[in-house]
Amino acid sequence: STDSLGSAAGEPRAPEAGQWFDYQIKQLAAHAKMSISSKDSEASTTTAPVTHTVKVVGKPIINVGAENPFAGKSFYVNPSYAASLGQSIATAEGQVKATLESMEDVPSAYWLDTKGKILGSGSNTMQGILADAASKSPPQLVTFIVYDLPNRDCHAKASNGEICCTYNADGSCDYAKAGDCSAGLAEYKAEYIDKIVSLLKSYEGRVPIVLVIEPDSLPNLSTNHGDPRCGNSATVAAYKGGIQYAVQSIGAAAPSVALYLDAGHGGWLGWKDNMKDYVATIRDLSVSSHLRGFATNVAGYQALGQMCPTYDFCLNNANPGHPCCADPCGLTSQWNPSHNEHNYALHLRKAMSEGISGFVPHIIIDTGRNGIADERSQCKNWCNIRGAGVGLFATTETADPDVIDAYFWLKTPGESDGCTGTLPSGAKCPRFDADCASTDSLGSAAGEPRAPEAGQWFDYQIKQLAANSRFM
């Protein structure tokens, strides 16, 4: 073409694709624009530039628009996370200590996993965090995880919640009991969601807020309906009814709040049949008009990888050897095109846009613990993975800003996924999940310390995450 090197008089001929082109690289170097503007360079590491250039295979340059709720914002750093890190910094040494110190100012999401974390003062409640964020100049963006559905975490035991459709005598949930979960939903609405809605209304327009809605819930309905804990009528009613109420209530009361619904990860919903089921679930809930999009890899370890030109670029061994087809979990050989989280984001965007009229979702990806791509012997393992490393800091400089709003630490690095059979104290773990004894899980090998319960600080794990960090 008239724009191609080699077409004009005096220019050298271009070699074949993939071969070194000396004339081109020298021209690219002469016109290099490797830094952001001076205005952006004055921003802190947690402040996202409004526009930037990104490298994406087969994609044009995209500008981050004002609609991205993360763009141009300063992100809130919870003092309680810095305090937890401080415990481990005190006993760390060398590069691990330096890395942990650099993490003290990294923003992460705060999990509203009990009713008691909504109201109250201080950095361990939603109300206290919002008050603190509002006191900054300008107010800082806060990210919360809404996570307290009735019969929560139906396919695992490590994170079972406090609200039940039917209670056992000891206060735990009877997952086998069928029904419409009317009592559990009433408790969830009145004692959890309605209190959150009231707080959000009082801060509407005053503090930028992002919410990730109920991790693991709807993905469990799509893929684990054969598990009676997930497939019984009470759990199904709880998850669908609870999420519909949460999204519609929050969306109506606080329209400036950006809502991202949990969408598992590529190794979970990435198969086309699973995605088709998940799209149908979202369509039937009639919540898409309130959603900014979806959160993926929440509390997961799936690698970002390199984004391909299309989500199914690597299927059928179509482009062997291409760097975007690197597949540490071997998913494409199982007919799963979503072998990394970047391609899963493309898959989500395409499937949802085609399946729900007028809905073009945006994605955020949890990079808290996915810095290492091939640390697991089996990628189905998810609990306190040995050899994992923290990933990219919070940023809007993503592989394709038109699709992916941000990378963000949604699961707080250092908080346990679940306990080993024996707790560090020597007591029996009351919420032991056999997956936390997998060969990839910390605490399963000789010489490793036992893991505490889900959400509790795991010193051994955070030091390993820091030692294997991949911030860049």
Query: Annotated active-site positions, please?
Result: 216, 417
Among candidates 417, 407, 423, which has minimal Cα distance to 386?
Answer: 417
For residue 248, which amino acid is it? Q
Structure token pair of residue 341:
């989280």
User: What distance in Å separates the CA atoms of residue 381 and residue 444, rounded to the nearest whole number?
Assistant: 13
Count, residues in the chain: 472
Q: Is 140 within 8 Å of 133 (Cβ atoms)? A: yes
Q: Exposure string (b/e) for 354-380, b if CB count within 10 Å is 16 or more? A: ebbeebebbbbbbbbbbbbbebbeebe
Nearest to 467 by CA among 401, 363, 414, 388: 388
Maximum Cα–Cα distance for the chain, whole Å?
86
Phi, psi torsion values for 185, nearest 5 degrees: -65, -40
d(CA 161, CA 114): 8
Residue 263 contacts residue 278 (beta carbons within 8 Å) = yes
Q: How far is CA 313 from CA 96, 164, 265, 337, in A?
A: 38, 43, 18, 8
CA distance 87 to 85: 5
Residue 150 · residue 181 · CB < 8 Å: yes
Rounded to whole angstroms, the Cα distance separating 310 from 325 reads 11
The residue assigned the tokens 């860049």 is: 472
Q: Report angle CA 309, 313, 315 to the nearest 5 degrees.
A: 170
DSSP letters for 273-286 = HHHHHHHHHHHHHT
Walk across the sheet containing 404-408 and list its strands.
110-112, 142-146, 209-213, 258-262, 293-296, 362-366, 404-408
